[in-house]
Amino acid sequence: MSSKLVKAVAWESSVLGTIYKQLFVHPRPIPPTVSLAGKTAIVTGANGGLGFESARQLLQLGLSRLILAVRSEAKGQTAAEALKNEFPIADIQISLIDLADYGSINAFADRCWNLERIDYVILNAGLQSSTFELNVKTGHEAVFQTNYLSTVLLLLLLVSVIKEKKGQHRTDRPSVLTVVGSDTMYYSKLEATGPIFPRMDDPKRFVKFQQYLDTKLLLMMFISQLADKLSPEEVLINVCNPGMTAGTGLGHDVKETSRTERYIAPLFIKALGRSVQAGASVYIHALLMEGKESHGGFVSDWAIKPYASVMYKKEGKDLMERLWQETMEEIQFSSSHGIAASLF
Is the pLDDT confidence value at 151 over 60? Answer: yes
Confidence of residue 2 (pLDDT cuts 50, 70, 90): confident
212 is catalytic: yes
Residue-level pLDDT at 246: 83
> What backbone phi and psi angles, to 5 degrees, belong to 121?
-135, 135
Mean pLDDT within 271-277: 87
Range of the domain at 175: 2-342
Residue-level pLDDT at 166: 74
Is the pLDDT confidence value at 341 over 60? Answer: no
Whether the Cβ atoms of residue 63 and residue 71 lie closer than 8 Å to each other? no
Is the pLDDT confidence value at 48 over 80? Answer: yes
> What backbone phi and psi angles, to 5 degrees, belong to 172?
-85, -5
Mean pLDDT within 189-207: 93
307 is catalytic: no
Residue-level pLDDT at 260: 58
Q: Quote the pTM value.
A: 0.93
Which CATH number characterizes residue 176's domain?
Answer: 3.40.50.720
* Domain total of the chain: 1
Q: Which of 148, 216, 305, 307 is catalytic?
A: 216
| Residue 271 or 217, more confident | 217
How far is residue 157 from each of residues 62, 111, 134, 221, 336, measured CA to CA in Å?
A: 27, 11, 24, 18, 10
Q: Which of 120, 212, 283, 307 is catalytic?
A: 212
Mean pLDDT within 294-319: 96
Range list of β-strands (E), the chain: 40-44, 65-70, 91-96, 120-123, 175-180, 235-241, 298-300, 303-305
